[in-house]
Structures are given as C-alpha cells and as structure tokens.
Chain A
C-alpha cells in the first residue's frame, strides 16, 4: 500500500515535470491574458490608473452604436477577407496546377513564387510603398499606361485594392505549396482514366482534380480566412489604415484604440469581438467545406 502510494507520487512528479512547463507558459502568455482581456472589456482603463473602473456593458454599447471607425473597419475587414480568400486561392491553385506538370525548372519556379512569403510582412509593406510611389512613377514615364498614374495609396477606393494585391502577392506562394502537396496525392491513373475517357483539360480539373483536393482547399480556405481577419502588418507599413480610415482593419483598429488612444478597456472589448467573429466564421467555413470532401 505504502509502496503503491510512493509509486503514484513518483508517477505524478514525472508527469508534471514533462507537462507543467508547457502548461505554465501557455496559461501565462495566452490564456490568462485572454481571460483578462474579457474582464477588461467591461472596464474603463487608460493604463495609468492602478485599477480599471468597472462600467458593465458600456464598451460594447459604444462599439455597436457609436463608433464609425469600428464599423468601417468591420466592413473593410469583411470585404477584404472575402476577396482575399477568393483571389489568393485561385492564384495559388492555378500556379499549383501549372507547376504540378512535368516542365523544366519547376523547382526554380516554385522557389520564385514562394520568395515573397519569407520576407517579413512589415518589410513587404515598405517595399510596396516604394513601388507604388517611385516605381509606378518611373513605369508611367516609360509606358504612359494610365494604370501607373493612379493614386494607389492616396485614393481610398484604390488603396483597398493596393492592400489586396500586396497581400495576395505575398501569400500566394504559401498556399501554392499546400496545393502542390495535395495534387501530388492524386493517383495518376485516375486523371489518366479521365483523359482516355475524353475529358478535356478544364473538365478534368473541375470533375476529377478539384473534388480530390478538397482537403487541401479546406485547409487553404481556413488559413487564408483566419489570416485575412487578422491582417495587420502589411496595412501598418503600407497605408497605416489610410487614407483617413479607409484601410483600417479590425486588428489595426484594436491596436490604435489601445496603444494610440490609451483606451485599454475599449480596445479589449473590440478584441473580444474579433475573437468571436473569427471563431464563428471559421466554424461555419469548416462545417461547409468538410462536407464537400470526397475520397479517391
């Protein structure tokens, strides 16, 4: 009896020494701050006061009824997310299909399209600020094409597409790689059978290839969707949410509310809303896409 107690103790100590470090850092740096954020969302707090002041649902009320910037950032983020998910997946899938065929130098091509993905997002934004201003100026002088003369960062409607183009350009390589991995799992005899049966390229793609890589599509849509909702760095360095507040995303709005306006309670309320939104949207997306997967 005593012996088994000792054994159980030894087992417990061993178990904890393996698992406790992970548990502690995850609780300390993610979950406790998250729970604190939910608590802060019911308070008014400027970061200097010792104790945040409890104000109930005031923050949420203000957020829903009296915050034009927040509403605008919602609209921006939603439209951006939809267009980004569609555009990046089409570009990535098209590249993947082309690079899945046996052409010379395909590894070089893959590397080329992947390169923007290894550069930090903040630097990507700066690079494109240079391209949109100085680069396009010179390209206009060379070609006189009107597209280079547009105010890519100064006009609020066009700035939206600047952010979109840069984001797709940066991310497409990453999703391309996932799609290539998916395409490689398709048994060659299936596509060959379809070819012999006389299905043309496009038909073969939509009726054979696409249904078979639905798991990859699910993964890519899931990732691109949740990344789109979290967009921050590129906007931070490319437009800083401007002109005006035209390209302010929810994440940037949270950052500005908390660290520029020093309204930590209000910023926390916004961050809780962001969490709920991403949760709901990704759950809906996963349940829809999972049902479309088929097996070879």
Chain B
C-alpha cells in the first residue's frame, strides 16, 4: 500500500517536472502559429485561431525544400562514407596483427582526443586548397575524416568478436576478400552500424560550426542550421517567422527521433560507453 502511494507521488512529481521541462518548447509551438501583434501582446496565451501562415512564409523565405535537400545530402554522404570507410578499416585492422596495423590503428583513433576547435583554422585552409569549400558534397566528404575515428574504434572492438573461421571458410569457398567482407562480415557488424548511423546522422544534421566555416557562399549552398542562423539575424524582431523557422528546422530531427527512438537511445549509449 505504502509502495503504491509512493509510486503515484513519484509519477505526479515527474509529470509536473516534465511539463516544466518542456514548457519552453511548447511556447515555441504556440507562438509559431500566432501573428506578430499577438506575440508582442502576450507569449503565453494560445493563438486565437489555428493558422499555418507563418509556416508558409518561413517555408518560402528559407527556401526550405532546397535547404532540406542540402542538409539531407550532406548527412547521407557523410554517414554512408563513415560507415563504409570505418567498417572496412576497423575489420581489417582487427584481423591483422602486425606492428604496422597497430600503428595505423593508433593513428586512426588518436583524433578522438583532438577537439574540433583545435584544428578548424587549418582545416578551412586545406578544404580551400582541395576545392571542398562552398560545396555541400565537399562538406559531406570532410565529415568522413571527422566521424571515422570513433566509428573505426567501435567497429574494431566489435569485429574481434566475429569468429575468424568465417573469413577462412569464405576464402576457401572462393570468395574474394571484398565479397567476404560485404556479404558475410558486414551484416554481422550491424549493431555497430546502427550506432554509427544514429550518432553521425544526428550530429551531421544538427552541426553548425563546420558548415558555417565551409559554406560561406550563397543561400543555394546552405544547410538548415546555417539558414536558421542567418534567418534569425535577419528576422530578430519578427518572432512569429523566427519561431516557425525554428519548428521547420527541428521537425525533421524530431520525426527521425520518434521513428527510431529505440535505436537512437541504444546507439547513443553504445557510442558513449565505448568511446
């Protein structure tokens, strides 16, 4: 009896706290549907009528479909590259026990100790020389180098648990090394692949500083986060457009999260604990 009462109290406390916790986000949703004068008069009250005019306007100003596609391209290029590159290298390095492979492994995972801000200045210079700047494709490629160390580390650790006999059987049956990897080993690495996709997709979609440094050019070459930044610069006082702009930037991530919630939480935990 005492236990049940305690549980109910705990639930109520948590519910109240959760409501307070999410109240700022609720205010954003409410105000994204209000007119400018309504926001100026009162932020807390509900909108007088349900309208998505602000969304339509923000959608146009931001050139939303275009920027959405840009961000998606960057994320897809980045994530695919990181998964491919790191799974191949992580697997091969865990299978070879020479001093070279040990050295390469150390070189590959050392960047986990280097904060991005410590090399961003020179990275901009290198990207310029390689003509990767002002291009969403170039940005996606740069993410390969930034995402690979942690992913490689995780693949390396996990590939050790895959029996070596599998490789040998496949080779004896006449598989090429690449075929062995892609049709036999890679499917067995799925847990790490899921973590890698989740961690990198959330990061690349939401990242701000690298795109800011790399995409200084015209609107056509921007990501959603950069657009949100310049959007706020322009429409600082026009809160109603700003709030619907925020919502438009956030909604894809929320949908991604709700759809894959189970994997996201598992993937994040695995990445944090192993990293």
Contact = CB atoms under 8 A, between A and B. Distances in A.
B141 to A, nearest CB: 8
B253 A120 contact: yes
B14 A109 contact: yes
B43 A134 contact: yes
A115 interface: yes
Decide if the interface of chain B is mainly helix, strand, loop or mixed: helix
A113 B202 contact: no
A177 B43 contact: no
A155 B268 CA distance: 36
Interface string B131-158: 0000000000110111011001000000
Contacts of B229: 122, 237
Contact of A181 (B28, B257, B273): B273
A180 B13 CA distance: 19
A145 B271 CA distance: 43
Interface string B67-111: 000000000000001001110111111001000010010011011
Given A36-B126, A109-B18, A268 B24 contact: no
B246 interface: yes
B163 interface: no
B58 interface: no
Contact of A131 (B18, B27, B205): B27
B117 A232 contact: yes
Given A109-B18, A274-B115, A26 B145 contact: yes
Interface in A19-72: 19, 21-23, 25-34, 36-37, 40
Contact of A29 (B18, B113, B145, B253): B145
A98 B232 contact: no
Contacts of B44: 135, 138-139, 142
A141 B208 CA distance: 35
A104 B108 CA distance: 45
A169 B20 CA distance: 11
B169 interface: no
A219 B273 CA distance: 6
B166 interface: no
Contacts of B272: 174, 178, 219, 223
Nearest to A19: B89
Interface residues of B, number: 87
A172 to B, nearest CB: 9
A271 interface: yes
B161 interface: no
Contacts of A1: none
Interface in A210-269: 216, 219, 223, 226, 229-230, 232-233, 236-237, 250-251, 254-255, 258-259, 264, 267-268
B219 interface: no
A116 B92 contact: no
A23 B239 contact: no
A101 interface: yes
B197 interface: no
B91 A18 contact: yes
Contacts of B11: 103-105
B42 interface: yes
B17 to A, nearest CB: 8
B144 A177 contact: no
Interface of A: 14-15, 18-19, 21-23, 25-34, 36-37, 40, 98-99, 101-105, 109-116, 118-123, 126-128, 130-131, 134-135, 137-139, 141-142, 169, 174, 177-178, 181, 216, 219, 223, 226, 229-230, 232-233, 236-237, 250-251, 254-255, 258-259, 264, 267-268, 271-272, 274-275, 278-279, 282
